[in-house]
Structure 1
């Protein structure tokens, strides 16, 4: 017996070492037990289909999602056609400084709520013979977008491998056992939606439909989720065993594999969503045929071929950027334990790299569906009424999802957002007319897959959030940003410019003169924040909010830049110049801060999570230490007053703000704070769950994207005419390198530093381009032809 015990012990020891070696990289999340909560699970996705893997032993639970599966139907653009008639009364109340009356009247400018992102369902794999498992190991390899589970039970080593293929549009699971006939499993499925089963040959089919309406979880109404068999988006989920050496049987609701040592499961998912303006029940795609076609095509490949095609496709994005923050003395621990150790103040540069790489992984995994961007939870949601409807919140969240796209060399993944903006411009034209009596297009606080653009609240929502209407203004800045990274003039001319012009038209019509003759917005709100007047009134509605004006300044600059690039000189452009010159200027408060309000009022919550009045610092570009030193210093004061503790997405934003103010140590302090360990189901603000997903709380993906974008912002910053190296390099990152980063102006850059000093940079032009390279006090003009590369030693 001892003869066999030693090799077995060595095998277990070797498996543990292999796990530790994997953990030592900055590309692997790993754990030594199954997930008990969503916040411990491993998320996979191909940009449309999402899988959330728990890795259980006797039962493996896997949540399934499709990013196009939402409640609802195309919006009715004829709603509230006369809502704008209340505007004169609101403006009159504001002119009298009667803010209470303005708040009361402003509620009339509220329409219906957005729809909700829906969960497709849950598949479960039930395994026989799993008593007394040992040496459990679970990982997510973000370098290959593959999850794995391995353990030993009953004298058998079981392994599972999971990935969601973009080229083949299927979710793939491979099950193996190292003993012949030891693999016995049954698959079943359930959903919170309406569905039916259909039996096939070695295949289980599920067809169903989503609700035609689902109210937000914070709205208390009777019958909040409504189904109708003749309405709503259809879905299909097909489960097939494509390879096995065992026996397969199918009942009315299960699929079973017996006496196997290997089995490959393919899951094909499709919905009837056919665009924001098509009824998915009567004018939808044929989800059954699409799912079947994808499944049949994928079944023609072996498992190794499917995996190779998946990895080749995925690594084409992931391998573009490499970050190295130097060596670490951190011990090799499961990822949740690493987070807990890091929260004590310990050093772990590879964990910091891992979080950055995980942000890139999440964007690749959740943003590859035309006209359907990543939502508040990317594409991973198990709830029928998810937090904040898992929708598109336009007062920061959906925009923050895409700060990483350009700098991280992932501009193609920006395109789902850009296509969705084009949809919004169509519904937003009606919202601009109906609610604001304006030309162009506008978007308010919330939206959804149907490109809903009206202000929400149903005449009873909080004015401080429901009535904000500058979402289109913010989103339109992404159009120019995409051009600056790609220099795609055809895109700028044919797609971006007309959309930008519509957003500018709304702004031009929305402004009114204040008592000093400046242009301001009226009514105005500052996202989700409230003021306290000198008389003590706590309110939301005002005029001349700094956030509004900052976004307008930025959009006007973008529109002027686009016009000049395209050689457009017309009377409308001159109007934009004139209004921009007479916008109400920034004002400083008595504490030396940038005012959030027209008057120097106090904030109801001085440490509020939103800091939208600092938009000009980031994501805007018109406040900077070298360009506007007094305003930059006032922005620092504003951030100091806010403090460090906030929600996850807010910390992500503050990292970028401090980086733009060239304070790398403060940005790094926030980065560490963003990685603060939050236990599953923990109600701790602004940290990271065991699976590295952002804790708003609850889970919101924007913090992941904002934090990852902040890493690049500390190392490389750019505008259309200059590139600045290591503007906010923290002392903690004394040596390192980054490669493959893109900059505005059409360049790809790499840099190396040591002893906190920049040593070497490489700049490659994507097209014929010129820029000014800046490091410290040195400024070097640079002009390169397409494909030309320049190496600089510093």
Structure 2
């Protein structure tokens, strides 16, 4: 009891002086087993390829989730091994006629020997991707943790770690924000004043010699800088800043320490001299701006930015069992040999889309062999842009899974390559136009890479890349973009108009190879790779020429001289031919016997997928392509992640639903790391192309739109197939052309938001018997399309007819769509 006014005042004064007791917010266990679209594990990663990856397109981080002392491997997409190189062999032009003559006259070994001297680049290698460093986060508490869980949530692009130490719950949440340009980490505890940690930056173990400085900025930030070495080194700067609620933040040496906080935030940024004249100032600006904002606002903007892209497509392949749902991601992966896991397969599909959103955004570089993530200063194959399949595969899911705007980094790289490739075409081949070989780097290097006959001597990398420009138009109808890129298409075509030479009445590339494959030289025990007119080149040039002609027609360009040159040259390309020996598509200009019948590259099937030269409208080449795929897989083909992913799309184009399911299952079981869902890449840590290719393959089994029908015929009796370069054609949309029964057997399935050529968005529902229940087709731009179900050849009939509201019914139905209108498709 207070006995006097003076005593009462004293008590009030004491109460006012006493510090308030902080009450930390409760932290609930994440219970990830009950959260869809989430990768999760009950233990930290032991190896780099166990990490969960986050990225904002430019900056990437690999999160092992180590509870006490975590080394977060960080990358910046423009940190490569040096400045631009000029590597074209000065003797290539002089010796090119001799190399070509040797090839035509069958002196393949002599041609290859000469090429190793006169064709290979000087030096032989372009620049390679480099590792930036480690963001080291050390928690100052006991290492004895319980109830551990880490996760990567594909619904909102957040990652996290949760655990308990002596009854105290800790949680770290990680985001890589594209709008804010930073990686942000939120560290919390459910007991006030128990957040204690250190932050440090370094290049990594044994790499500190590449640091020029590592120092503190004031009392709450650190910055590290250096260079890549070599001529015109790329300079890098990385910085981190800590903000805390409660406790104190201070620096000692080049560490930031946080002690006694209730919660804290770490903001990280990195820049290089590739984009910034003063990358240090840019880093400081980023982390200061993040600290001046709030984590909640940064997080909200990040989630909104991500979800606007990610939520466009949903996929449901059925419901997994309760037992499957209760397992960690790795547990579910290891259990695939016992039973199909539909929700895991859907998660894998969305993971590919997540990785593309995280590694390819406006203003960034394209994802390389490892996306934007690497822990090696000199990664396997340099983690460059390998453009004889891998870079292109990275973008296969971009259009069909409704992420069209993510293509702009690829366009930017193509623009850079126009300049370097023009110089290479002229100085190596004496040709106009643009050429690139099988690799490039951030500077758009177009000289031959390495000195390895079966990969180096290939002049068609640029041709493959630019097909993506026209495909973007086909899916979006964006004529402004097509007009902007028309000259690029012409540059690529012009090179072949100048370069193609004569062989047995055909116009062929010479010298060239079928990427990374070899054959037995007839009458000899020797093997070779060098040739003229390999099938992949013929298919690429055929498609490229057709795309130029189509672009002229779409834009009303009246260049009759160019159109005539292209049309004449196109008619002289070697046609697709069936091997009398194997019954499959011939891979080389002659019916050589391949050294490896199960080779990983399906180059000879480029016209089947991703091209559109081989379709059911030609039963002979279609059957030969099917036989080729079967033969490759039967002989051990598809033995890497990206190769197996390619086989999923090829099986879909074959209308072989069982093979689609088998190849996807093999991709998951044999070529995917169970802890992270990353595509295996031995001897590399991982290789990202297989993830992208797998996602594209799933979509290709559900919707196809690469075929065309001659316009002007409104009845199926007069349907005639058309191809690239033909005038007045309408796209054909196939619904469920290769749906594996497994994707329906757990309660049916559905998909929303897939894109088809012609600017159509597709939603579908199917039942347990893998039969269409209904589909909704939304026209984004207006126009026409033929609609069919399954794999019936154009003009054919089957037992399953469809009905399109307002447009009749039949095996094929012509849809005349109005922009923005939805059309329902059902079984008739």
Question: Over residues 532-561 of structure 1, what are the superposed CA-to-partner deviations in whole Å (9 max), with x where a residue is unaligned?
Answer: 022232011111211111111111121111
Q: Give the whole-Å Cα distance in 2 for the aligned partners of 1:81 and 1:53.
A: 46
SS in 1 for 2:290: helix
Match for 1:524 among 500, 506, 512?
Answer: 512
Match of 1:597 in 2: 588
Match of 2:681 in 1: 696
Match of 1:53 in 2: 63
Q: Which has the larger radius of gyration?
A: 2
Query: Quick check: 1:67 aligned with 2:67?
Result: no
Match for 2:308 among 295, 316, 324?
Answer: 316
Query: Quick check: 1:710 aligned with 2:697?
Result: yes
Query: Which stretch has the larger CA shift, 768-777 or 479-488?
Result: 768-777
Match of 1:513 in 2: 502
Match for 1:774 among 742, 765, 788?
Answer: 788
- 1:203, distance to aligned residue in structure 2 (A): 2.9
- 1:599, distance to aligned residue in structure 2 (A): 1.4
SS in 2 for 1:140: strand
Query: Quick check: 1:560 aligned with 2:549?
Result: yes
SS in 2 for 1:737: strand
Alignment check: 8 A CA contact 1:526 1:596 kept: yes
Aligned ranges 1:23-62 → 2 under 5 Å: 25=36, 27-62=37-72
Question: Over residues 699-743 of structure 1, what are the superposed CA-to-partner deviations in whole Å (9 max), with x where a residue is unaligned?
Answer: 110000000000110000113612110011111112211101111
Q: Give the whole-Å Cα distance in 2 for the aligned partners of 1:355 and 1:339.
A: 10
Alignment check: 8 A CA contact 2:334 2:674 kept: no
Question: Over residues 213-254 of structure 1, what are the superposed CA-to-partner deviations in whole Å (9 max), with x where a residue is unaligned?
Answer: 4xxxxxxxxxxxxxx7xx412222121113321211102211
Query: Quick check: 1:289 aligned with 2:281?
Result: yes
Q: Give the whole-Å Cα distance in 2 for the aligned partners of 1:210 and 1:486.
A: 41
SS in 2 for 1:400: helix
Match for 2:493 among 498, 501, 504?
Answer: 504
Alignment check: 8 A CA contact 2:473 2:482 kept: yes
Structure 2 unpaired stretches of 5+: 1-25, 707-729, 791-796, 798-810
Query: Quick check: 1:642 aligned with 2:632?
Result: yes
Q: Give the whole-Å Cα distance in 2 for the aligned partners of 1:645 and 1:780.
A: 36
- 1:576, distance to aligned residue in structure 2 (A): 0.7
Q: Give the whole-Å Cα distance in 1 for the aligned partners of 2:219 and 2:698.
A: 48
- 1:131, distance to aligned residue in structure 2 (A): 3.7
Alignment check: 8 A CA contact 1:674 1:688 kept: no
SS in 1 for 2:743: coil
Match of 2:6 in 1: none
Q: Give the whole-Å Cα distance in 1 for the aligned partners of 2:126 and 2:638.
A: 30
Q: Give the whole-Å Cα distance in 2 for the aligned partners of 1:203 and 1:507.
A: 58
Structure 1 unpaired stretches of 5+: 1-10, 214-227, 275-283, 678-685
Alignment check: 8 A CA contact 1:202 1:241 kept: no
Q: Give the whole-Å Cα distance in 2 for the aligned partners of 1:273 and 1:31.
A: 37
Q: Give the whole-Å Cα distance in 2 for the aligned partners of 1:116 and 1:244.
A: 42
Aligned residues, how many? 738
Query: Which stretch has the larger CA shift, 447-456 or 122-131?
Result: 122-131
Alignment check: 8 A CA contact 1:42 1:140 kept: yes
Relative to structure 1, is the Cα distance of residues 645 and 785 closer, same or farther in structure 2, using a 3 angstrom cutoff? closer
Aligned ranges 1:407-422 → 2 under 5 Å: 407-422=400-415
Match of 2:242 in 1: 241
SS in 2 for 1:291: helix
Q: Give the whole-Å Cα distance in 2 for the aligned partners of 1:101 and 1:132.
A: 66
Aligned ranges 1:190-209 → 2 under 5 Å: 190-191=202-203, 192=207, 193-209=210-226
Q: Give the whole-Å Cα distance in 2 for the aligned partners of 1:325 and 1:613.
A: 32
Query: Which stretch has the larger CA shift, 123-132 or 388-397?
Result: 123-132
SS in 1 for 2:781: coil
Q: TM-score, normalised by structure 2?
A: 0.87
Match of 2:107 in 1: 98
Match for 1:164 among 176, 192, 205?
Answer: 176
SS in 1 for 2:428: helix
Q: TM-score, normalised by structure 1?
A: 0.91
Relative to structure 1, is the Cα distance of residues 640 and 157 closer, same or farther in structure 2, using a 3 angstrom cutoff? same
Aligned ranges 1:420-569 → 2 under 5 Å: 420-457=413-450, 461-494=451-484, 496-515=485-504, 517-535=505-523, 536-569=525-558
Alignment check: 8 A CA contact 1:203 1:238 kept: no
Relative to structure 1, is the Cα distance of residues 303 and 95 closer, same or farther in structure 2, using a 3 angstrom cutoff? closer
Alignment check: 8 A CA contact 2:501 2:507 kept: yes
SS in 1 for 2:772: strand
Alignment check: 8 A CA contact 1:513 1:520 kept: yes
Relative to structure 1, is the Cα distance of residues 74 and 645 closer, same or farther in structure 2, using a 3 angstrom cutoff? closer
Alignment check: 8 A CA contact 2:32 2:38 kept: no
Alignment check: 8 A CA contact 1:72 1:232 kept: yes
Q: Give the whole-Å Cα distance in 2 for the aligned partners of 1:291 and 1:365.
A: 20
Q: Give the whole-Å Cα distance in 2 for the aligned partners of 1:594 and 1:402.
A: 26
SS in 1 for 2:277: coil
Match for 1:748 among 737, 761, 764?
Answer: 761
Q: Give the whole-Å Cα distance in 1 for the aligned partners of 2:338 and 2:389.
A: 30
